Amino acid sequence: MSETTTPQPGTSGMQFGIFSVSDITTDPTTGRTPSEAERIRDIVTIAKHAEEVGLDVFALGEHHNPPFFSSSPTTTLAYIGAQTENLILSTATTLITTNDPVKIAEDYSMLQHLTGGRVDLVMGRGNTGPVYPWFGQDIRQGLPLAIENYALLRQLWDQDVVDWEGKFRSPLQGFTATPRPLDGVAPFVWHGSIRTPEIAEQAAYYGDGFFANNIFWPKEHYQRLIALYRQRYAHYGHGTPEQAIVGLGGQAFMAKNSQDAVNAFRPYFDNAPVYGHGPAMEDFTEMTPLTVGSPQQVIDRYAAMRDYYGDYQRQLFLMDHAGLPLKTVLEQLDLLGGEVVPVLRRELAQNRPANVPDAPTHAARVKAAYGDAEPRQARPTAAGGNNLTAGGPYQDTPAAAPKAGSAFGSAATR
């Protein structure tokens, strides 16, 4: 690991971390394919090492088909949360279209409690069309599902007792999702998109974050999406366009000598399912944020992201894909945490306007909701589980509950 002193996480107002798509890919240099068990163990090691090198966030995707292993992100994140202290645990995608919003509400509130609030989510529709019928849904309804399911999820987190009737699931009457969100503050939500302006609009409507996973297409496409999100964020009264909460994806492979990085990564790029047999690596790195070279080249590339997208709050890197062995991934994290991120923290903090918000954390959001008052902690009443009598099943601590977020939760009937 590098000797460079790593600053405390989050000191620049930005969060840096890694995300995994959980692929199980043959190493093209050895012909060896890791087992599911090995990759699952390795991802825990990778997440723990991300915290050790001073990164802020570990995010894990959701897939329900080979060659991916991460069908249950909450299980994995809870296990990682028990072995880390400061790492924010997120999802690279939570499938809002094919997961039941009730189950999402309960699973991630539970994860909040277990980790002391170190949880947020990236909502998305995923990139695997067959997942819709596997979970009883119609892909042609993907966008309406995303809108309705998220509206219900917001209500389940923001209201103790929910009456609901929509198009895509059975009605709810007097339903309470348990446990209630920690401190009465739901996990922060990013809406992930690579191509869909309606998702940018949805993020803006709620005042949520927008995560542009800009790893495959040229920057001009994502500039348009992020500009739309910022404009609509201001339109809905959440703040100025510059105050909108933006996250970006990224990819890097590094070596002290840039040509060594190119030589080492080329067989992985050429054979990986997500890259292989497409553009040459040099063309791909020119068109996208993939940076293969020295740590300084990565610093230069990502310090310039602000010029394209404005000041933003979260930068995640894809590091454990394409069949790279665990040893190599850990070495990449040493370079990322030891040499790249400390410099990016300093450079992206320079001339950052005072009105640009810091990256969201549970503690900051609790402070914004309550000030110096005691946060709300829901407690069952003598009514037990009967949601329709005795004023519902919960009573508050003396502190009042925070104000609910955007009123879009009532928009399911639109």
Ordered domains of the chain (ranges, CATH): 15-413 (3.20.20.30)
Tell me which of 92-96, 293-297, 384-388 is least confident. 384-388
User: Quick check: 136 and 170 in contact, CB under 8 A?
Assistant: no
Q: Strand 379-380 relative to strand 394-395: parallel, antiparallel, unpaired?
A: antiparallel
Contacts of 72 (CB under 8 A, 6+ apart): none
pLDDT higher than 60, residue 12: no
| pTM of the full structure | 0.88
Q: Which residues pair with 210 in a beta bridge?
A: 191, 246
DSSP structural state of residue 398: S
- DSSP-H helix ranges across 218-352: 219-235, 258-271, 281-287, 295-303, 305-309, 326-335, 341-349
CB 229, CB 294: distance < 8 Å: no
C-beta separation of 379 from 41 below 8 A: no
CA 57 – CA 100 distance, rounded (Å): 25
Neighbour-count burial of 399, counting CB atoms closer than 10 A to its CB (0-12 exposed, 13-18 middle, 19+ buried): middle
Note the pLDDT tens digit of each residue in 18-44.
999 888 999 999 999 999 999 999 999
Highest mean pLDDT among 25-29, 212-216, 409-413: 25-29
pLDDT above 90 as % of the chain:
67
Cα 382 from chain centroid? 38
Of the candidates 32, 19, 26, which has an alpha carbon nearest to the alpha carbon of residue 59? 19
> What's the pLDDT score for residue 135?
60
From 325, 242, 287, select the one nearest 29 (Cα to Cα): 325
Q: Report the distance separating Cα 223 and Cα 215, nearest Å.
A: 13
Phi then psi dihedrals of residue 282, to 5 deg: -65, -40
Is 177:161 a contact under the CB 8 Å cutoff?
A: no
In the chain, what percentage of residues exceed pLDDT 70? 85
Q: To which residue do tokens 């590091």 refer?
A: 319
Task: Give the whole-angstrom CA distance, residue 360 versus residue 364.
Answer: 7
Residue 139 has pLDDT above 90, yes or no: no
pLDDT at position 391: 43
Quick one: tokens of 95? Answer: 């499938």
- Structure tokens given for 356: 């640009």
pLDDT at 341 over 80: yes
Answer yes or no: are the C-beta atoms of 53 and 61 closer than 8 Å.
Answer: no
Q: Residues with Cβ < 8 Å from 409, sequence gap 6 or more?
A: 151, 152, 154, 155, 158, 159
| Alpha helical stretches, state H, 61-141 | 73-81, 101-115, 131-134
What is the pLDDT confidence band of residue 414, given thresholds at 50, 70 and 90?
very low
Secondary structure element (H or E) that encloses residue 254, with its range: strand 252-254
Tell me: pLDDT of 120 over 50. Answer: yes
Distance CA 73, CA 206 (A): 24
